[in-house]
Structures are given as C-alpha cells and as structure tokens.
Amino acid sequence: MSSVYRNILVAVDGSPDGEAALAHASALARDQRARLTLLTAIPPMPATALLATGAAPPRNEVVKHYTELLRRATDSLPEDVSVTTLLVEGPAAKALIERARSGAFDLIVMGSHGHGRLHQSLLGCVSQKVLHASPIPVLLTRAPAEEPAVLPTPTRESALDIYPLTG
C-alpha cells in the first residue's frame, strides 16, 4: 500500500490546539512514513508598537522566542520522524498558503485556534484563511477538552438546604 501523504506541512504556534496538531501530524507521519516540515511565522510588528517607545520587544528577542518554539516542537517528535523546520516572517496564513501552492506538500496540519485575537471565535482567523485558500487538504485539530471541575455534592449537614418552590 502506498502512502497518501509524503510531505506534511505543520503550523507551529505554541497554542494548545497547535500542540494537538503537532501530535496528530507526528502520528500520521509515522503511519505514512512521511516527512514533516514545521513552520512558524514571526508576525509583522504592529505599527502602533513601532510608534510607542519601548512597547515592542527587541527584534532579536522576538526571533529567539519563535526559534525556541520551533526547537521545542522538533524535540517533542519521535526519533524516527523525519523533520525540517521553517522560520518565516510575515502573516502565518500567507506563509502556509504559499508553501501549499508550491506543490511540495500533500497536507497541512494545524490547530483550529491559535494565540490570535480571535481565539474564542468558532474558527480561528489563520485556520479559516488557510482552509479556504489552500489547494491541498487541511486537517484542523483541537486540543482535548479539559474535564470540568466536579462540585462536591452537598451533605445533609449543609447549613443551607435548597428546595424548589411550589405554588
């Protein structure tokens, strides 16, 4: 049986959904004997940050942060998964779509939500753009839902007993 996917592009942003995407891509790469390319995009500096003195971190610190993000992602992969990394500058959606159009990849794997401003939206801004513009399949993942906290059941010794009102 031949592999469906040979080269998988994975968006790495450090978000919980992004980490779930990396884990899924890793398992898929092992199963398909595919190569992973981890891509992290350094977002453009907002104009307001450039105007405010000291508001933006030094450029070398920003690059260092994203380089470390890629290193941690690479280190989390099993030894038998072939991996390369790409650190690019600019909007993440644009970088992913450009790579998808290059013909070098068979699949994009990414989290459904990243660390962007629209984190709580139904579908993240970057994932939505990639999903609509990519010429190759896009697999969106979500981090496992956290278990809801279990409230203790009240006992009869409770100081406050609550009963429904009947009319």
pLDDT digits (tens, 9 = 90+) for 3-52: 799 999 999 999 999 999 999 999 999 999 999 999 999 988 765 555 65
Pair 141, 111: CB distance under 8 Å: yes
What's the pLDDT at 123? 53
The 10 Å Cβ neighbour count of residue 11 is: 29
Superfamily of domain 7-141: HUPs (3.40.50.620)
SS (H, E, C) 79-106: CCCEEEEEEEECCHHHHHHHHHHCCCCC
Q: Which of 146, 145, 142, 163 is nearest to 154 (CA)?
A: 163
Q: What are the domain boundaries of the chain?
A: 7-141
Least confident range from 22-31, 82-91, 116-125: namely 116-125
| pLDDT band at residue 163 under the 50/70/90 scheme | low
pLDDT digits (tens, 9 = 90+) for 92-102: 999 999 999 99
